[in-house]
Amino acid sequence: MQDLGSVVVEEHVHGDTRWVALRARGAEWSWLTPEDALRLARYWLAVYGGGAEAKPSGAA
C-alpha cells in the first residue's frame, strides 16, 4: 500500500491478473489494470504537471 496523502494506491494479484486499486478520501475503491493506471497517470501529468505543488487550473 502506498499512501499519497488523500489517495491510497494498492497492488493486488489474483492468479495471473494484476490490479491497481485507487481510493481517494474514503470513496469506494477503483480497480484498474496496470495499463489503465499508467494511462491515467500520464493524463494527470499532462494536465496537472509533475510537481508536487501542481494544481488544476482555477484551483486556489
Q: Determine phi and psi for 38, rounding to 5 degrees.
A: -65, -45
39-48 per-position pLDDT tens digit:
998 998 999 9
Range of the domain at 13: 2-48
Q: Nearest-CA neighbor of 22 among 14, 32, 34, 12?
A: 32
Residue 53 belongs to a domain = no
Residue 59 belongs to a domain = no
Look at residue 60 in the predicted model and tell me its pLDDT.
45
Q: Which grid cell sits at 36?
A: 489503465
Look at residue 30 in the predicted model and tell me its pLDDT.
93
Structurally, how many domains does the chain consist of? 1
| E strand or H helix at 43 | helix 34-48
Residue 54 belongs to a domain = no
Residue 60 belongs to a domain = no
14-42 per-position pLDDT tens digit:
999 999 999 998 899 999 999 999 999 89
Q: Rounded to two decimals, what is the model's pTM?
A: 0.66
